[in-house]
Structure 1
Amino acid sequence: MNSYYLTLVLKVDLEDKEKKALLDSITKKLLGEDGKMEKEDIWGSKDLAYPIKRQTKGDMVHFEITADPKNAKAIDKTLKLEEDILRYLLVRVKGQTLHALP
């Protein structure tokens, strides 16, 4: 099991139900059977530094999770294909616990 940070930039025009369904499906795939959600932060709507897919704002969501590396590879492929995600960053945390960071 590895620790990961996952940050998503979602389209602003998504309805709350669509956004929740999207986030639920992503976390289920990423966590798998043995994974654990350590933290979920919804950072809200932010102005983007430059337009991405003709969008100038994005909803930011950040997760701290512990998951199997096989699930991380599968979610990477899924995130690339999802149209409602403008950008994402999936980073493996090495040598420290997730909550030790400020």
Structure 2
Amino acid sequence: MRDYELVCILNAGLEDTEIQEMTQRVSGIIQSNDGTVENVRTSEVRRLAYPIKKKTEGVYVVINFKQAPSAIQPLDTVLKLEEQILRHRVYVSDSLPPLAHAPEEIANAGDASVASQPEAAEAEAPEVETSQGPVSLDETASEQDAGPGEPEASESSGPDESR
């Protein structure tokens, strides 16, 4: 059995009870094919990015389940025939196996490396040249435009006048 995620967009015109019934119906289809439903999430009515079957709003339902790969095609066929499901997609869940002891090891190793990092950063930090007094914005802008080792740019000469 593999982990799957089913995302359905239901018609927003459905009542809450009808949405629950549709969700239970889809869960029942999964369970009838020897699948197990692990999680069901339903969102509020949301505006769709573009109209689907002339509808501009929908309700997203996400179902996480385990199923044999051979049972996905019949599920897809049944979902295509449901008129209240505007769009659906079945994804293979790419879940990573849980880590056994790695977070503790990383936390312990991280404490030692973090303590030594500030000392190393202070030793490698270059000294910054400070100015003697306050500098106006015009002076700093002209220094940045000129770049290092170039004379300051003046307002009277421009690149267009040299042509």
Q: Distance in 2 between matches of 1:32 and 1:92?
A: 19
Name the structure with the higher strand share.
1
Name the structure with the higher helix share.
2
Query: In percent, how many aligned pairs have the same letter?
Result: 30
Aligned to 1:53: 53
CA contact (8 A) 2:8 2:87 kept: yes
Is 1:64 the counterpart of 2:98? The answer is no
Aligned to 2:76: 76
Deviation at 1:95, TM superposition (A): 6.3
Summarize the Cα distance change of 1:40–1:81 in structure 2 as closer, same or farther, 3 Å threshold: same
**Paired amino acid for 1:39:** N
Aligned to 1:26: 26
Q: Structure 2, unaligned stretches of length 5 or more?
A: 100-163
Is 1:10 the counterpart of 2:16? The answer is no
Deviation at 1:35, TM superposition (A): 2.1
Aligned to 1:89: 89
Aligned residues: 99
Deviation at 1:31, TM superposition (A): 2.6
Length-normalised TM-score, structure 2:
0.55
Deviation at 1:33, TM superposition (A): 5.8
Q: Distance in 2 between matches of 1:56 and 1:45?
A: 10
Length-normalised TM-score, structure 1:
0.83
Deviation per residue, 1:33-82 (Å, 9 max, x gap): 64222211112211101111111100011111111223322110011111
RMSD: 2.1
Deviation at 1:4, TM superposition (A): 0.2
Q: Which has the larger radius of gyration?
A: 2
Q: Distance in 1 between matches of 2:82 and 2:33?
A: 22
CA contact (8 A) 1:31 1:37 kept: yes
Question: Runs of at least 4 residues of structure 1 off by over 4 A?
Answer: none
**Paired amino acid for 2:19:** K
Higher deviation after alignment, 2-11 or 24-33? 24-33
Q: Distance in 2 between matches of 1:81 and 1:33?
A: 17
Deviation per residue, 1:2-53 (Å, 9 max, x gap): 1101011000111222222211111111133642222111122111011111
